Amino acid sequence: MELVTFESEAYKEIIRNINEIRSNLNNKGDNNTPLSEPWLDIQETCQLLKISKRTLQSYRDNGVLPFSQIGGKIYFRAGDIEDHLKKHYIKAFNPKK
């Protein structure tokens, strides 16, 4: 194995470049959407929550999940779905204690 040495400033520049690349990759996300966050259609939302279209319609009618409608197409923000799940999260507990 060959040992390579760098000047301190050159090493710091390499590290800065690596961190910038890492930051750009993290900010890009898994999808290539130009939106600030993912929006899901009815089918994607039903698959994500493992619910029927009728249940999702009930969630919309009862104000459980906010949505956006453009023409006949309905979209749900992924962040709203995650917030709803977090709001209804129940921590495990040990009843014997």
CATH code for the domain in which residue 67 is found: 1.10.10
Distance between CA atoms of residues 32 and 35, nearest Å: 9
Q: Which domain holds residue 78?
A: 39-87
Single-letter amino acid, residue 65:
L
DSSP 31: S
Number of domains comprising the chain: 1
Q: For position 33, what pLDDT does the model report?
A: 60
**Taking the chain (97 residues) in consecutive chunks of 10 residues, what is each chunk's mean pLDDT?**
82 83 69 78 95 96 96 95 92 80
Q: For position 75, what pLDDT does the model report?
A: 97
For residue 19, being part of any structural domain is answered with: no
59 token code pair = 């969630």
Handedness of CA 86, 51, 80, 59 (dihedral sign): negative
Q: For position 80, what pLDDT does the model report?
A: 95
